[in-house]
Amino acid sequence: MESIEKIAEFLLEHGLYRTALEMHEEICLQGIDNVPVLSDYFLQDPSTVEDLPAFFSTANRKSRIKQAPSHSRKGSTAGEEEKGHRRTESGTDLQVAVDSLRAELKEKNERIQVAEYELRCSKEDVEALRSELKSVMEGGGGGGAFEGDEGEAAAHEKARELGEEGAIKVYERKCLNYLVKNYLVSRKHHLSAITLAEEVTDQDLNSWDEISFSRVEPPTLLELYRYFYGTGENVQLQKVEEEIVALRARNEELLLENGKLEDAMRTIGELQAEVEELKQVIAEGIPDRGLDDEELPEELEAEQQEGATEEEKAVEVEVAFRIAPLQLPEFRKVGAAWLEENARLYEAIEDVAVLGRRKNGPVLILGDSLENIIPSILLKSRKEILPLLLVTIQRHRDAKVRDRLTNVLFNLIKRPDEQQRQMIMSGCVALARLVGSDRTQMELLPQCWEQIGSKYEERRVLVAESCGALAAYVDGSMRVSLILSILAEQMEDKNDMVREAVVKNLAQLISYFDNDDKYSKVEEMVLKLYYDSNSSVVAAVHAVLVPVFIEWSVARGKLLSKVLPLFLGEVGKMMKHMDPARINEHNASRVEQLFDTLCALVRKMYEVVLVTSPFEAGPRATPAEKTEGERKKEEEGKRKEHSPETPGDDDDAEKEEEVVDDLSAKFGLTADPESVYDTQQVAALQRQFDEYLAGPRKARLAAAIKGAEKDSGDWTALAYVLEEFIPEFIRVVTAYEAAEAPRITNGLSVVLSTLCSEFGAVFTTHVVEPCFKDILSEDSTTLSTADLKATRGRLTPVYMVGALTVHGGTERVIAELKEMIVDIAEERNSWNKSFVQMLRDCITLLCTKDTLLPKIVTLVSRELIGHPAAKVRAQVMDLYNDIIPALYATDLEKALLPALVTLSSDVEATVRRATLRPLGALATALESKSQLETIGKQVEALLKGADHKTMCEMAAMFASVVPNTETYFRDACVLPCLIKLTDANSQSSSTSNKTELAKLLFDAYRSFNGCVITPETITRSIIPGLKLLQGDAAYLDPNYKNMLAKMIRDMEKAVSKGEHAGKAGTPKRSAGRGRGTPGRGSPAPEQGQGWRSVMRWGQNK
């Protein structure tokens, strides 16, 4: 008994009142003698039982401990006298306490309902007053309080007159910038102030002295507003505003009171939980079955009347069995260790009892748990947690928790690949659509800024992708400031993958720009990315950024005034620094990309010209008149029109929507299908445009150059084409020497061809051709002879390939080409031999046109070979070398070979000599033995009675033919002819002629380097020829003489090694290309190695 009293004193001393009460009730039920300490403490004061909730609350525990009197067995005589009476009344007192608590709870619930009703009425009053204020403001122009307010109206009229005086002055702009910046700083809008300071680059916003030394600093914006507007005489408006201020104050008070009521309800809920636990103890183990507050009194009363059932007795035994182990020290130690290790989890589980009853309770629980759950989930399974994460971020009330969870969303995967980034971005876009623009700017965009300096390139790519994907869900001011600044900074990233992502998402961002305030910045970024060093970045620029930039410039009206001059100027800059003789692949590919961009711009320019024309497009085509392709396009446009494009933060956003494309891959530029002309309307506009250009010359020029009237506006688009674009394009072609390079000429001709094909045949005939002819014509041009030569050499191929081939017809092109060939050959009409290379380049480009190639072959193989002038026939032979690569073997055999056979027996030696080069080209292009025999016979015929020039031309032809021709032609024709040429040269009496031909023959023999040669051929043809050439070595440079002797020794050494070595290196086939072409044999090891070593030695020398 003494130990029980010590335990009771310990429990009371340390404030363990619930445990002491349980102990007291157990002692009473088991019939053990009462413990005086417990009886006196719990039964001496009836208020103790009546105020059980306050007694057991955490806030009153310390005061209870201090106020509790110390008890002992000797000093408790008065308590012992009353313990019996108190014990009999304990049950009744507890029931009274429970009833009192329920009455108090009911009273507080009624107070909460009244407060909610008052709050709702206040909100309705505020809305009504706002509507009244809006109606008063809208009706201010009529009567009422605004009638007779002539002073204020006059002031407003004067202000409007001052505002309409003209453009804002520099002083005014700087003054307003200074006032706005100070106002933003004073209202703590620091981010907006920083953005303003970044955009205003020509002014120091912190110094008034920079604006004016002689003027006093003006008042602040707030002072100006209050002085000029806030002190007006509008009494009605002032009353309404005062009422609004009073209502807002009342509303704030009600909201504050509502918050207090919510706290009180939360406290009541906690007290109710404690009361239920006490009732379970008082009711001798009656289990709590989760009944609602309204059902509990009746259920409790029924249980008290009926007594415990068999099931309740079983539960009672179970409770007794479960409570007993709590006294074991080992169990206490295990529980304390677990609680110490999992304190956070235990607190979270306890919070569920309270949070689970609230309306937003599950969201609060998820907000506390997700941050710790996600790191333990496998990477491939984390996508399954996205819906929970997004809903929690959307609905959680605590901004700090939302910020942490948003950071978790961005950092869901440490180094996300492309698909994982797409998953994260889809989540971000879905969240942005749920929360709206304000929260997107405040919560999602800061996460982008934080990740911009990540050490992982995958995370930096994610930042760039988020800038494009979230552009549709933020305000326009945020797009042109923060998001554009992020992409501009990432554009300097050293990683190619990051810059490529910047390209694609910059295109997505600028598609949402609703004005051209940032055009200069965007243009600078586009050009910098256009010339990026990485090919994948450049490819993305051309595939994504440039098309969007062009469409955006069209929408903002910048295509003709900014974009076209920009890229045409870039072409000129590139060509200015290019040497036509040494154009590297990098520069050539860049300028070709510029040509592609120019072609796209020309197509858009044509659309702008038609759209802004003064003509009527007419009605749209009826469904019966539309083609199948037009109907499909129209259906596709309607489908996209009804697909979700903009974010929504209302309940409709929760409905299921069929999204065709990905949420994060949308562009802001859209076109109403009704605003797009169909094929019938475009044809009508083109027809009227052609009639306009084909009218009387005076009217056409006046209308096309000065512009046509349309709704009081000029046709500036056509004026730009005539007065600026075409003249500037011609200037770029003629001003730079790089235009003479074939690749550059081809690119320029493609741009001109696009212009002519888009604008039509009438435009080409009446606008383009006169512009070029005026410059190329000798009569109409004002150029000097040198300038005319350069202009013709650069402009003619572009004109013929780009303009004449589009709408001129093949007959006209062939006629122009024939005339130019004759003029150059006979050197008339200011044409001369210096234009031969230009003519050859022009022929090469024209041969790429399938419709022109047969006509060109007919021209040079039939019409011109019978021309009476020998110069013309010789000039045609010179063009064969450029035509042969474009023809197949059958065309060569049927068309060119007969023409060469005919001209090889021409009466003029110059013509016969001119056929040698084409014959050599045919020998490298044909493989048939009969065809090569024909060519060999013509070469041998030309060698008979050949003069010195013919022999030199033949030796030079052999040097180019030997490495690329068949073995048969080399052994049967080339080697015998070389021996004859060497023998003829040794008999020449002219020292200069002998020296010139000996050098050419040496080059011809040296061209056998690396060829497959049999020992018999070396013995029979090469060594005798070299020895004959060695006889003329005295006329050569000593280096040539030494190399020639070395070549002879190596050949003799290779033959002397025996027949076996010769056969081992000789291919079985007798025919094959000279340099061991794959499939035609390989070089003999001994002879090839020896011969190549001679060549290396000769070159080193």
Tokens 């009969």 locate to 930
Q: How large is the greatest C-alpha to C-alpha distance in the chain, in angstroms?
A: 162
Q: Is the pLDDT of residue 791 over 60?
A: yes
Q: What residue type is assigned to position 1038 of the chain?
A: P
Q: Are 5 and 37 in contact (CB under 8 A)?
A: yes
DSSP 43-74: HS-HHHHHTHHHHHSGGGHHHHHHHSPP--ST
Q: Is residue 957 within 8 Å of residue 916, measured between CB atoms?
A: yes
Contact status, residue 986 vs residue 1006, Cβ threshold 8 Å: no
Task: Phi first, then psi: give them for residue 867, nearest 5 degrees.
Answer: -65, 140
Mean pLDDT value across the chain? 75
The H or E element spanning position 312 is helix 310-323
pLDDT of residue 627: 60
- In order of 844, 872, 1094, the CA distances from 884 in angstroms are 10, 19, 34
Q: Confidence band (pLDDT; 50, 70, 90) for 345? A: low
How far apart, in whole angstroms, are the C-alpha atoms of residue 227 and residue 1064?
110
Give per-residue pLDDT as tens, 287-333: 333 334 333 344 434 444 444 344 344 333 333 333 334 343 443 33
Using left for φ > 0, alpha for ψ between -120 and 50, and beta otherwise, residue 811 falls in: alpha
pLDDT at 712 over 70: no
- When mean pLDDT is compared over 160-164, 213-217, 1086-1090, the highest value belongs to 213-217
Residue 1099 dihedral angles phi and psi, to the nearest 5°: -70, -35
Q: What is the pLDDT of residue 674?
A: 63
3-state secondary structure 749-800: HHHHHHHHHHHCHHHHHHHHHHHHHHHHCCCCCCCCHHHHHHHHHHHHHHHH
pLDDT at 170 exceeding the cut of 60? yes
Q: How far apart are CA 396 and CA 199, in angstroms?
A: 36
DSSP letters, 518-574, are THHHHHHHHHHHHT-S-HHHHHHIIIIIHHHHHHHHHHTT-IIIIIHHHHHHHHHHH
Distances (CA, A) of 504 to 234, 340, 459, 510, 549: 54, 52, 16, 10, 11
Report whether 593 contacts 546 (CB < 8 A).
no
**Distance (Å, whole) CA 513 – CA 572:** 30
Q: Burial of 867 by CB count in 10 Å (0-12 exposed, 13-18 middle, 19+ buried)?
A: middle
Cα 1017-1018-1019 angle, rounded to 5 deg: 90
Q: What is the pLDDT of residues 454-491, one digit of tens each?
A: 888 998 999 999 898 898 889 888 888 889 999 999 99
Residue bearing the bigger pLDDT, 697 or 666: 666
Query: How distant, in Å, are the alpha carbons of 71, 703, 716, 718 from that of 760?
Result: 115, 18, 19, 14
Burial 329-345, CB ≥16 within 10 A → b, else e: eeeeeeeeeeeeeeeee
Q: Given a cut of 70, is residue 1095 above it in pLDDT?
A: no
Residue 748's Cβ-side half-sphere holds a number of Cα atoms within 13 Å equal to 30
15 — alpha (psi -120 to 50), left (phi > 0) or beta? left
DSSP state of 713: B
Query: Over pLDDT 90: what percentage of the chain?
Result: 18
Angle formed by the axes of helices 1085-1100 and 1038-1056, nearest 10°: 170
Q: Strand, coil or helix: what is 178? A: helix
Three-class DSSP category at 32: coil
Half-sphere exposure of 348 (CA within 13 A, CB side): 13
**Phi, then psi, of 644 in degrees rounded to 5:** -65, 130
Q: What is the DSSP string of 224-282?
A: HHIIIIIT-S-HHHHHHHHHHHHHHHHHHHHHHHHHHHHHHHHHHHHHHHHHHHHHHHH
Report whether 938 contacts 919 (CB < 8 A): yes
Alpha-carbon distance of 971 to 989, in angstroms, equals 29
Separation CA 95–CA 278 (nearest Å): 11
Please write the tens of the pLDDT for every residue from 399-455.
Answer: 888 888 888 888 888 888 888 888 888 888 888 888 888 888 888 888 888 888 888
